[in-house]
Structure 1
Amino acid sequence: MTVEDFLRPGEWLSKKTGPLYAVLSRRIEKGIEQGLLLPGHSLPAEREIAELAELSRVTVRKAIQELVKKGVVEQRQGSGSFVREPASKVEQSLSHLTSFTEDMLARGLKTSSNWLEREIRHPSPDEILTLGLSASGHVACLHRLREANGQPMALERAVLPVDILPDPEEVKSSLYDILERNGNRPVRAVQKISAVNLEAPQAELLGVTPGIAGLSIQRISYLQSGRAIEYTKSLYRGDTYDFVAEMSFPR
């Protein structure tokens, strides 16, 4: 079956469920899943899709916008709409406290960081409360774009008291390697995970379309003594990361 035949009106359209643009969006996505539209290839022009499916160009445009939001399609200025190359997914367990570097190395992936900020500064009110600091204290701030095999994966901002990390420039790759060497590696953490839509500045750094789904993660890490020594806020690409939790039933 050709793409043209696939998009012509038929049972998929006559038995529509929901708005027409959503029905068309699902139809195009199904065509991608079946290999009629391959990664890197362009979609037919909006006008052509509208004529084939006997729908308005407004409906076609909204359908493509839905696919862009989902990260299935990307639009290139002056060139049209293209099927995105599928991003390789990474699963991270929520049962163990590990660093990004450790997670990627365990999967045979090479990590790198694009540093956006690495400095000593005064803590924010939120950081003072979370880390139990005084207003006159200082924190080490690490803000970076985390990559695996050259692919942007997450934006990470970690804040630690200066007595735990006196020199943020010392961190070249794994923060936890430095903390372990200094006897300050955390032993437990509390994480809060929320679904978000990535805004334009973050999406540009992560190499995705603005509005695409992402994961916002806030983590507070503790020493054995119970002291909070790390406050991290991260934004992960929703198309590259899955978090997996193992649970047991009470007996």
Structure 2
Amino acid sequence: MSQALPLAQLQSASGGPLYVKLRMMIEDAVATGRLKHGDALPAERDIAEAANISRVTVRKAIDELVNEGLLVRRRGSGTFVVKPVARMQQPLSQLTSFTEDMRRRGMTAGSRWIGRGLFYPNAEETMMLGLNGGARVARIDRLRTADDMPIALERTSLPEDLLPDPEAIEDSLYLCLLKAGIRPVRANQRISAVLLKDDETKLLGVPPGSAALSVQRIAYLESGRVMEMSRALYRSDAYDLVAELSVGSPMKPET
């Protein structure tokens, strides 16, 4: 942390009162990338000792940055950088892949593989995918990125006969399936707010205790067969889900 925040140099730095100097030092560390989104600041007492200033001074500088939205305090965890990211809107009226969504925005979609392979299904997969005894599922776990920025954690399960080789996927699952003549025609989605677990926050690069949008999807083939079940956790600071609503026909008066 001494490279990100050269606190020993604070006293000799220019910039006015000590709390202003400290605030400017933290702002500069974020702007130059020495402190990144999700990074934890040292404890206030450690900052005070390293910079040879009072904890009151440290608290005043951090309070101002919290009020500006550059830092956030998490009870029991500490203070973290929350460098703003460009928010993206995803319409709920279209069935598209993550890769297609990013391409429309002029961004490069990517995947960091957490795990993939063929497995014997759990009870939920057996029921939702309509599997018979002995059938396996292709299970895909990955971190989805846009221009290398982590956006979502995604787990997808498909029947083995639709995806016999999960290793064949490059970036887009739907493109891989389309090459085999397989494509979804409709889907049901359930959206809810959840708190991320510690390992999930590390993968997404967000502070501990951060919230996420949980999107559970069941996609169907034209035949009506379930093609996939998936659950994605989207960073709530980067993603907005947007629905377009229309007014229905007015009710006719009863006769």
Whole-Å Cα distance in 2 between the matches of residues 245 and 128 of structure 1? Answer: 31
Matches within 5 A, 1:104-115: 104-115=102-113
| Secondary structure of residue in 1 paired with 2:30 | coil
Whole-Å Cα distance in 1 between the matches of residues 106 and 151 of structure 2? Answer: 15
Query: Does residue 173 in structure 1 map to residue 171 in structure 2?
Result: yes
Whole-Å Cα distance in 1 between the matches of residues 89 and 218 of structure 2? Answer: 21
Q: Shift of residue 84 of structure 1?
A: 2.8
Query: Does residue 48 in structure 1 map to residue 46 in structure 2?
Result: no
Query: Does residue 184 in structure 1 map to residue 185 in structure 2?
Result: no
Q: Shift of residue 135 of structure 1?
A: 3.2
Matches within 5 A, 1:133-212: 133-212=131-210
| Secondary structure of residue in 2 paired with 1:40 | helix
Q: CA RMSD in A?
A: 3.3
Cα–Cα, structure 1 residues 181 and 81, in superposed 2: closer, same or farther, change >3 Å? same
TM-score (norm 2): 0.71
Partner amino acid, structure 2, of 1:48? V
Cα–Cα, structure 1 residues 3 and 83, in superposed 2: closer, same or farther, change >3 Å? farther
Whole-Å Cα distance in 1 between the matches of residues 58 and 165 of structure 2? Answer: 59
Q: Contact 2:90/2:239 (CA < 8 Å) preserved in 1?
A: yes
> 2:51: which partner in 1?
none
Whole-Å Cα distance in 2 between the matches of residues 144 and 204 of structure 1? Answer: 14
> 2:82: which partner in 1?
84
Whole-Å Cα distance in 1 between the matches of residues 218 and 16 of structure 2? Answer: 50
Q: Contact 1:39/1:82 (CA < 8 Å) preserved in 2?
A: no
Q: Contact 1:123/1:135 (CA < 8 Å) preserved in 2?
A: no
Tell me the matched-pair count. Answer: 207
Q: Shift of residue 48 of structure 1?
A: 2.3
Q: Contact 1:122/1:139 (CA < 8 Å) preserved in 2?
A: yes
- Larger Rg over CA atoms: 2
TM-score (norm 1): 0.72
Identical aligned residues as a percent: 45
Q: Which runs of 5+ in 1 are unaligned?
A: 8-30, 32-36, 54-59
Q: Contact 2:213/2:236 (CA < 8 Å) preserved in 1?
A: yes
Matches within 5 A, 1:221-240: 221-240=219-238
Cα–Cα, structure 1 residues 51 and 205, in superposed 2: closer, same or farther, change >3 Å? closer
Partner amino acid, structure 1, of 2:100? E
Whole-Å Cα distance in 2 between the matches of residues 188 and 235 of structure 1? Answer: 21
Q: 1:213 aligns with which of 190, 211, 214?
A: 211
Cα–Cα, structure 1 residues 244 and 200, in superposed 2: closer, same or farther, change >3 Å? same
Whole-Å Cα distance in 2 between the matches of residues 82 and 237 of structure 1? Answer: 16
Cα–Cα, structure 1 residues 238 and 3, in superposed 2: closer, same or farther, change >3 Å? farther
> 2:242: which partner in 1?
244
* Structure 1 residues 113-147: Cα deviation after superposition (integer angstroms, max 9, x where no partner): 11111100111100011010023111111110111
Cα–Cα, structure 1 residues 183 and 176, in superposed 2: closer, same or farther, change >3 Å? same
Q: Contact 1:39/1:85 (CA < 8 Å) preserved in 2?
A: no
Cα–Cα, structure 1 residues 51 and 212, in superposed 2: closer, same or farther, change >3 Å? closer
Q: Contact 1:39/1:86 (CA < 8 Å) preserved in 2?
A: no
> 2:96: which partner in 1?
98
Whole-Å Cα distance in 2 between the matches of residues 99 and 73 of structure 1? Answer: 33
